[in-house]
Amino acid sequence: MQYFPLFFDLRSQKVLIIGGGEVALRKAALLERAGAAITLVAPHVIPELERRAAAGTLTVVRREFVPEDLAGVRLAIVATGRRATNRWIASLCEARSIPVNVVDDRKASRVIVPAIVDRDPVLIAISSAGASPVLARRWRERLEAFVPARIGELALWLRGLRAASRRRLRGTAERRRYFETLVDGPAAERFVAGDVHGAEQLAQRLLAAEAARAPAPGHVVLVGAGPGDPELLTLKALRALTDADVILHDRLVGEGVLDLARRDAVKICVGKSPGGGGAAQQLINEQLIAHARAGLRVVRLKGGDPFVFGRGGEELEALARAGVAYSVVPGITAASACAAYAGIPLTHRDHAQSVSLVTGHVGEGGAEPDWRALAAERTTVVFYMGLAGLERIVAKLIEHGAPADRPAALIAQGTLPTQRVVLGTLASIAAAARSQGVGAPALLIVGEVAALHAELAWFGGDTAASVSESA
């Protein structure tokens, strides 16, 4: 994040604008709405600025800028139209720790002015970090059409309900849920539609019901985070993340997904690394139960789908034994998502009529799978976490009848911009993985459909050629 977004209270604060043209006028108009004490310095100013000065909304000093003009300034806007002059003034501001915006010169600016949707006190600021002002403006136009005109009035009405909610509701969690119900429900809809009296009645009834209700029990939501791309989250998963008080997440759940959670939610990484490390399953179960019994809304966030090699069933069994309420939000599992992003259909009328999903840790302290069935023709086998045991998997498939030239593909960092697809056959895929430096997490797909990647690949990233079987 190159720029940290802030909303700056400039009421009665001294703001200096250097320049007297149309650009300076646009900045002055915005700053007037913020209540700033504006001084504009320029040898020549356009008539509209003269009119505003006569009306007393800003002060115009008709001369060239001098460094003494920066005394007591809280923000400077530089728009002289002369690049060298603008940068000189910017350097003076920087030396005095004065935030400065140089119009159309991102490198010289310490702050930039975003495109703004103004529904005071609700403000939406959109910035492209100076990369494309047109893009930011277009998004502002779209949001102008989407955001209700009375959203600012709604915010003020909700502020008026805070005192009553503090008197009658027990704690922060109860008050937050009360306001969430107001904002998400018919009360806010009625207010925005103009029915203030109806909204007030609903709000008071809801407050009385909330005050009389017993403390809400905790709840655990088992949520599938999908394969990595945050845009593959379901709408229900997104709602669970924004409602959660506590999130216990796997190691491989990316920051892009976690950033969608409520800012004040407690995020606890309980992921386990291959070969050890991370929280033991029993400890994870205990944490889920403890947080829920404390009356919190808990999300157990797992990569992919929690019921596909995610130990989700074991966690629900522990919750059920403890009498803790739970629900499940499925996620897009890695097999379907990574295969789709690699252009590999898991089934195909000409090549595969069945799909098997298998853990890559096969045979490690557990029963062996039916290798003969996995080696059969016209089937696709997807091995999760198959990289560490890749050579053993290949050997077992060939031993039980799979031809050595059966196509195979490894997909690393699937659905992410860093996705890589390594192609080969059963005979060559292990060598290809070594030569290409493939690292976990990686998914192994074995079957005739893997060869279709060469024709159907559509997503970016690198596709590494397979190492020849003679290598």
**DSSP-derived secondary structure for 295-337:** T-EEEEEESB-TTSSS-HHHHHHHHHHHT-EEEEE----HHHH
219-332: CATH architecture: 3-Layer(aba) Sandwich (3.40)
Structure-block tokens of residue 328:
């499940």
Question: Pairing relation of β-strands 219-224 and 297-302?
Answer: parallel
When pLDDT is averaged across residues 292-319 and rounded to a whole number, the result is: 94
pLDDT band at 276 (very low <50, low <70, confident <90, very high): low
Residue 443 and residue 421: Cα distance in Å, rounded? 10
- The secondary structure of residue 276, as a DSSP letter, is S
pTM beyond 0.75: the answer is no
What's the CATH code, domain 335-464?
3.30.950.10
Is pLDDT above 70 for 284? yes
Same fold, 14-113 and 219-332: no
Is pLDDT above 80 for 272? no
Q: Which residues are catalytic?
A: 250, 272
Is pLDDT above 80 for 470? no
Q: Report pLDDT digits (tens) over 346-357.
A: 999 999 999 999
Domain ranges of the chain: 14-113, 151-212, 219-332, 335-464
Q: Report pLDDT digits (tens) over 182-219.
A: 999 999 999 999 999 999 999 999 999 888 877 778 89
What's the CATH code, domain 14-113?
3.40.50.720
- pLDDT at residue 2, as a whole number: 83
Cis peptide upstream of residue 441 (ω within 30 degrees of 0): yes
When pLDDT is averaged across residues 432-438 and rounded to a whole number, the result is: 92
- pLDDT at residue 471, as a whole number: 36
